Amino acid sequence: MRWLVTGGAGFIGSHFVRTALTEEWTDEVVVLDLLTYAGNLENLRPVERHAGFSFVRGDICDPDVVAKSLVDVDAVFHFAAESHVDRSIESAASFVRTNVVGTQIMLDAARTAKVKRFIHVSTDEVYGSLALDAAERFVETRPVQPTSPYAASKTASDHMVLAAERTHGLDAVVTRCSNNYGPYQFPEKFIPLFVSNAMEGKPLPLYGDGRHVRDWIHVDDHIRGLRLAWERGGSGEVYNLGGECERHNRDIALAIVRAVGADESLIQPVTDRLAHDRRYAIDPQKARAELGFEPGPPIEERMAEIVDWYRENRMWWQRIKAGEYRGYYERMYSGR
Ligand SMILES: NC(=O)c1ccc[n+]([C@@H]2O[C@H](COP(=O)([O-])OP(=O)(O)OC[C@H]3O[C@@H](n4cnc5c(N)ncnc54)[C@H](O)[C@@H]3O)[C@@H](O)[C@H]2O)c1
């Protein structure tokens, strides 16, 4: 079987590719990735010599590159996206281009290439925000209500996937996952930013009152859920994948400083993100019942392992932080 993985040089996509090849989920993986600021070939180094691995540097918005990458492909796992909420607040254009237009180009090409299944990797952010004290959690039938430009662009892409399934009969499954953590996560995202800053003795910029709630899932649990969605999911279905692990941001920050052995005073409040969603809460019951999905242990049990990875791979994140990311960081957090 040959799989096409878009965005396979990013955080979650590369974890999927490394695991799919080393655990023999498939014989062949073609990665299509533009290598934007978030894409990093070092993430694929463990499998770069694997006989079944090939890499195409290209844009999902380029129909010719996409068509060539899809030759003899059985399944598409579509990860490629602009993925950072804060960047979407700074400028939304690239989010609409990649997440909406790029997904539509992928869908058209997958149909032409007669791909057997299209797995669209989406997010719980499409559901919008819950009150801290709300009894409900996100279920797949809940109307979508995205607030950030990132979430709005992912919502639009979900609709395009479901429309292609209904209108053209493309076999497609949408998964909506909560906040991922794990190795190789780009160090401008919450957990790797805080872990790496704590290791460097730098401030940990915590948005607002720190009481925002996110559901945390290890990237390894997420990609196993994606495999199950490919294997057992119904075409045209949406599956929520979550970690059953809702935590306040401040509690995650505290767990990080403890695991790193840093001082709590490094945690410093900064002006809240615009329209910052208060709470995300995934109900993964449908995935559990229909796919056999089970999230692993809670984040506290994995924090030491995560911190160890970032400690042992200092060069990986230091190189990134020294590069393009520095200008972005200055714009976001300087003077606060
Ligand atoms: N990180 C999370 O917590 C999370 C949670 C739920 C869903 N998701 C979704 O999972 C997917 C992957 O997220 P991630 O955190 O690994 O993202 P990431 O930003 O680490 O990686 C995105 C990858 O896509 C590539 N890319 C971007 N634009 C492209 C284009 N036009 N053509 C080809 N490649 C392009 C980048 O180079 C990068 O390798 C995204 O679709 C995201 O919406 C992420």
CATH of the domain at 66: 3.40.50.720
Each of the 336 residues of the chain gets a pLDDT tens digit; together they read 999 999 999 999 999 999 999 999 999 999 999 999 999 999 999 999 999 999 999 999 999 999 999 999 999 999 999 999 999 999 999 999 999 999 999 999 999 999 999 999 999 999 999 999 999 999 999 999 999 999 999 999 999 999 999 999 999 999 999 999 999 999 999 999 999 999 999 999 999 999 999 999 999 999 999 999 999 999 999 999 999 999 999 999 999 999 999 999 999 999 999 999 999 999 999 999 999 999 999 999 999 999 999 999 999 999 999 886 556 666 666 544
Residue found under tokens 């800053």: 197
DSSP for 312-323?
HTHHHHHHHHHT
Angle between helices 11-22 and 219-232 (to 10 degrees): 60
> Which domain, by its residues, includes 116?
2-180+218-241
Q: Does residue 124 lie within any of the structural domains? A: yes
Q: What's the CA-to-centroid distance between 82 and ligand 1, angstroms?
A: 6
Judge whether 174 lies within some domain: yes
In short, whether 183's Cβ falls inside 6 Å of ligand 1 is: no
pLDDT reported for residue 285? 98
Query: Which of 36, 96, 104 best tests ligand 1's pocket when mutated (most atoms within 8 Å of CB)?
Result: 36
> Is 125 part of any domain?
yes
**Euclidean distance between CA atoms 70 and 3, whole angstroms:** 9
Q: At what angle do helices 249-260 and 299-312 cross, to 10 degrees?
A: 50
- State in Å: Cα 36 to ligand 1 middle: 10
Q: Structure tokens of 48? A: 């770069």
The structural domain count of the chain equals 1
Distance of CA 30 to the CA centre of its chain: 19
Does residue 276 form part of some domain?
A: no
Q: Which residues of 63-86 are buried (b: 16+ CB within 10 A; e: fewer)?
A: eebbeebbeebbbbbbbbbbbbbb
Q: Does any domain span residue 310? A: no
Q: Does ligand 1 have an atom closer than 6 angstroms to the CB of 39? A: yes
Q: Strand pairing of 213-218 and 246-248?
A: antiparallel
The predicted pLDDT at position 266 comes to: 98
Q: Catalytic positions, please?
A: 124-125, 150
Q: Is residue 168 part of a domain?
A: yes
| Cα–Cα distance for residue pair 150/123, rounded to 1 Å | 10
Q: Find out whether the beta carbon of 186 lies less than 6 Å from any atom of ligand 1.
A: yes
> Residue 191 — left, alpha, or beta (φ > 0 → left; ψ -120 to 50 → alpha)?
alpha
Nearest protein CA to atom 12 of ligand 1, as residue: 79
Q: For position 325, what pLDDT does the model report?
A: 58
Position 222 in a domain: yes
In a domain, 264, yes or no: no
- From the number of C-beta atoms within 10 Å of its C-beta (0-12, 13-18, 19+), residue 48 rates as exposed
* Residue 70 Cα distances to 4, 33, 65, 177, 234, angstroms: 7, 13, 9, 25, 22
Nearest CA to ligand 1 atom 30: 59
Closest CA to 214 of 256, 247, 188: 247
